[in-house]
Structure 1
Amino acid sequence: MFEALLSLHPVWQAFFATLFTWAMTALGAGAVYLQQEPTRKTLDLMLGFAAGVMIAASYWSLLAPALVMAEGKALPAWLVVALGFLCGGGFLRLIDKFLPHLHLNMPMSEAEGVKTNWPRSTLMVLAITMHNIPEGLAVGVAFGAVGAGFQEASMAGAIALALGIGIQNFPEGLAVSVPLRRDGLSRHRSFMVGQFSGMVEIVAGVAGAALVFIAQPILPFSLAFAAGAMIFVVVEEVIPESQQGGHTDTATFGTMVGFTVMMILDVALG
C-alpha cells in the first residue's frame, strides 16, 4: 500500500486520501436509510469523538512536525508556528463571520454570517463545509510534506492522519443527515446533503498539497495554519454542539476516546 502511494505525485496522494475521508462522510450520511436512527445521546458521543480526533491530529500530526521543520531557519521556530496557528484560526473566524450558516440542532433564528433567505438544509451544509476545510487542508499538507522530501514527514504519518480524519467523518456525516431527516427531508435528499458536505475536503486537500509542493519553505507555517483552523472549529462548533443535548459526560468521554485513538494512530503508524 505504501509503495503504491509513494509512486504517485503528492497531489494525487492527497486526492485519493481525501476521497477516502469523503467516502466516510457519505457512509455516515447513509445511516438515514436505516430503520432505527441514532439517538441524540449517540450523536453527542460521536461528535465528542470527532472533537477528540481533531484535537489530537492538530498536535501530533501538525504542530509537532511543524516545530521540528521550522528549526534552523531565519525566524525562530516558535514564532513561525505561532503565527501560522493564529492565522489559521483567524481565517476560519472570517469565514464564520461572513458565510451564512447554521450549526447543527440550532433554530433558524440562530443562523450566523450574512443574513439570507436560504433554506435550513443549505445553511447546515455550509456550516459543515466550513468545518471540513481545515480537515482536507491538513491531509493535503501532510502528503505535500512527504512529497517535498522533509525527513520529519512520513507516508505512514500522512496515512494515519487521513485515517483519523476519515474515522471522525463518519459521525459528522451522520450528524448532518439525521437532523435533516427529522426536519422532514426525504431519506435520499438527507443523504445527498450529508455526503455533499464532505466533498470540500477533496478540494482543500488537493490545494494544500499543491501549495506545499510548489512553495516548500512555507510548510511549517502551513501545518500550523491547518492546526489553528481545526482547533477553531473544535472549540467554536464541535464541542459546543456535543454538549447541547444534555449528555455532557458522554460527549466528554467520546472526546477523550477520540483523542486516544488519533494519538495511537499517529504514534503507532507515524
Structure 2
Amino acid sequence: MKAVVDYMQSIDPILAAFYATLFTWGLTALGAALVFFFKTMNRAVLDGMLGFTGGVMVAASFWSLLAPGIEMSPGEGFEKVMPAAVGFLLGAVFIFGLDKILPHLHINFKESEAEGIDTGWRRTTLLTLAITLHNIPEGLAVGVLFGGVAAGFEGASIGGAVALALGIGLQNFPEGFAVAMPLRRYGLSRKKSWLYGQASAMVEPVAAVLGAWAVLTFQPILPYALSFAAGAMIFVVVEEVIPETQLDKYTDIATMGFIGGFIIMMALDVGLG
C-alpha cells in the first residue's frame, strides 16, 4: 500500500485521479462480471450490499471530504464552517437537479416509479442511469481530493485520497453485481448485463479528472469542492440508497451492511490518511 501511495504522489495529480477512478471502475466491472456465474441474487444479499454502499458513502463524506474541507478553511467559528456549509448545500442541490431531469429507475422500484423526464426508454436503460447518477459524486470526490493534495492544502493527504478511492472501489464491487443481476432478470443476456453494469461507473474517471482540474485551476474553491462532493453523496444515500433497502423484510441486514461499510471506510481514511 505504501508503494501505491508513493507512486500516486510522484505523478501528475490529474493522472493520479484518473488512475484511481480507473481502479474504482474496474472493481465495478469485476462485480458486474459475477452475472456470468450466478443466475439470481438473494434479496437479503442485495439489501446488505446496498447498505454497505451507503455506509461507505456516508463515512467518506465526513472523514474524507467534510472534515478536511473545514480544516483547510480560514477563520474561526461560523466563518470557518461556512465554506463547508455552502458547498454541501450546492452539492445536494446539484444532484437534486439531475435527479429531476435525468430519466432513471432505482433498483428495487416499479417501472411506474421511474424519476426524471418522461421517456420511452427501456427499464434496463433507466436502471443503469440510476447507478450512473450516484457515481458522479464519487468520481468527483476522488478527483477533488487528489487536486487538493497537489495544491498543497493542509488537511488533504495522498493517503487520504488513496483511502477514498479504495473505499469507493470496495463498494463499487457489490454495486456492479447489484445492477447487473436485475438487468439479467429483466431479460438481457449475461454479456449485455455485464456491459450495462460496468458502464454505470464509466462516469467516475471523467468526473475525477474534471474535479482535479477545477481545484488545480481555481485553488480557493477546494473547501467548497470537497463539501460539494460530500453533499452530493449524502443526497444520493438518503434519496436513493437507503429507500431501496427498506422495501423488503431484510432491513436489519441492510442496516448492518451500512454499519460495516461505515466502519471500513472510517478505518481506511484514518489508517491511511
Q: Structure 1-normalised TM-score?
A: 0.97
Q: 1:13 aligns with which of 9, 16, 28?
A: 16
Q: 2:123 aligns with which of 116, 120, 125?
A: 120
Q: 2:65 aligns with which of 62, 65, 82?
A: 62
Q: CA deviation at 1:35?
A: 3.5
Q: CA deviation at 1:3?
A: 2.4
> Residue 25 of structure 2 aligns with which residue?
22
Distance 1:96 1:76 in 2: 31
Deviations 1:59-98 (A, max 9, x none): 000000000111239x912111101001100000000011
Runs of 4 or more above 4 Å deviation: none
Deviations 1:115-154 (A, max 9, x none): 0001111111111111100000000001001111112111
* Contact 2:124 2:186 survives alignment (8 Å): no
Deviations 1:247-270 (A, max 9, x none): 000000000010000000001111
> Residue 87 of structure 1 aligns with which residue?
90
Q: CA deviation at 1:245?
A: 2.7
Deviations 1:203-244 (A, max 9, x none): 001100000011110000000000000000000001111222
Q: 1:229 aligns with which of 229, 232, 237?
A: 232
Deviations 1:155-200 (A, max 9, x none): 1110000000000001111111000101111000000000000000
> Residue 246 of structure 2 aligns with which residue?
243
Classify the secondary structure of the residue corresponding to 2:245.
Answer: helix
Of the structure 1 ranges 3-12 and 54-63, higher mean CA displacement relative to structure 2 is found in 3-12
Of the structure 1 ranges 209-218 and 64-73, higher mean CA displacement relative to structure 2 is found in 64-73
> Residue 103 of structure 1 aligns with which residue?
106
Q: CA deviation at 1:36?
A: 5.1
Classify the secondary structure of the residue corresponding to 1:52.
Answer: helix
* Contact 2:40 2:185 survives alignment (8 Å): no
Distance 1:255 1:71 in 2: 33
Gaps of 5+ in 1: none
Q: Structure 2-normalised TM-score?
A: 0.96
Distance 1:269 1:187 in 2: 37
> Residue 45 of structure 1 aligns with which residue?
48
> Residue 187 of structure 2 aligns with which residue?
184
The number of equivalent residue pairs is 269
Classify the secondary structure of the residue corresponding to 2:208.
Answer: helix
1:144 aligns with 2:115: no
> Residue 202 of structure 2 aligns with which residue?
199
Classify the secondary structure of the residue corresponding to 1:116.
Answer: coil
* Contact 2:141 2:208 survives alignment (8 Å): yes
* Contact 1:31 1:37 survives alignment (8 Å): no
Q: 1:255 aligns with which of 231, 254, 258?
A: 258
- Identical-residue share of aligned pairs (%): 59
Distance 2:251 2:155 in 1: 38
Root-mean-square deviation (Å): 1.2
Distance 2:64 2:5 in 1: 18
Counterpart amino acid of residue 93 in structure 1: F
